[in-house]
Structure 1
Amino acid sequence: MPRSHRPLPPGGVALSALFGASGLLHLLRPRVFEGIIPTPLRRHRRLLVLGSGVAELACAAGMVHPATRAPAGLASAGLLVAVFPANVQMSLTLGRRAARRRTVRSWTGFAVSLARLPVQVPLIRAALGVGGR
């Protein structure tokens, strides 16, 4: 069976669902994400948040259809790389907040944000797998 006709693997289903949920959240609650836009890009934070939400939804939809699965998988990997600086910015911001507040909750948030950074690697690998790489 040609690769383009194979069903989306379970990892691809999860990745598509993750992109879909995140994309919707970016569009419905953009303020949640505006604070993690890296400082040099903050002037355009709303546009960047909304644009990344649209891109995530497009990637999610593209991974579902066999004809667009390969380019959507590659675009998803690229998007994950592109948003990585925002994830780093989130960790920096939460680390500063934790140092100021010194509460268990703030330190926990910081720890979770740090633990989330290396998770990008398997997500990128899964996206590349969906893309046929």
Structure 2
Amino acid sequence: MTAVSRFVISLLFIAAGVNHFVSPDMYLKIMPAYLPWPLFSVYVSGFFEMAGGIGVAVPKLRRAAGWGLIALLVAVFPANVEMVLHADRFPEIPFWALVARLPLQGVLIAWVWWAAVKRVGATDE
């Protein structure tokens, strides 16, 4: 089950990271106005999502990548708050879904920790 979770996490973060470069406008809409260099920030977060996704798939990099993804998930949380505070920018997304993203971030953090950071027995599978 852990191997499947790692595979899914890798795919999700790599795909999300690629999407930052393919569709940056979507991410620019959720960037809080107080953050400088919005487009650069979108690209940097996309790069680190891809790097983390790849790292989770590589046993020697897995724990570091997991910690990096957890840090990234914490760092991008203000964008989720921004979506709730400015729901009018996202008429295609139901308000309940925007609100649901807030606790979902905690679930993602726990999932990454369980699949990539937590040591399994004496070895790291």
Q: Is the TM value for this pair above 0.5?
A: yes
| Residues 58 and 34 of structure 1: CA distance in aligned 2, closer, same or farther (over 3 Å) | same
Structure with the greater alpha carbon radius of gyration: 1
User: How many equivalent pairs are there?
Assistant: 118
Identity of aligned residues (%): 35
Rounded Cα–Cα distance in structure 1 between residues aligned with 2:48 and 2:29: 19
Which residue of structure 2 lines up, in the alignment, with residue 55 of structure 1?
48
Answering whether residue 35 of structure 2 is matched by residue 35 of structure 1, we say no
Which residue of structure 2 lines up, in the alignment, with residue 124 of structure 1?
109
Shift of 1:35: 1.2
| Residues 108 and 51 of structure 1: CA distance in aligned 2, closer, same or farther (over 3 Å) | closer
Structure-to-structure mapping, 1:1-133, within 5 angstroms: 9-41=3-35, 43-94=36-87, 97=88, 106=91, 109-129=94-114, 130-132=116-118
Rounded Cα–Cα distance in structure 1 between residues aligned with 2:46 and 2:60: 22
Unaligned runs of 5+ in 1: 1-6, 99-104
The structure whose residues are more often helix, as a share, is 1
Rounded Cα–Cα distance in structure 2 between residues aligned with 1:112 and 1:27: 24
Q: CA RMSD in A?
A: 2.1
Instruction: Describe the superposition over 1:12-71 as per-residue Cα deviations: whole angstroms up to 9, x where unpaired.
Output: 222211111110100111111001111101x41000000000000000000001010010
Rounded Cα–Cα distance in structure 2 between residues aligned with 1:36 and 1:66: 33
DSSP-derived class of the 1:9 partner: helix
* 2:61 partner amino acid: T
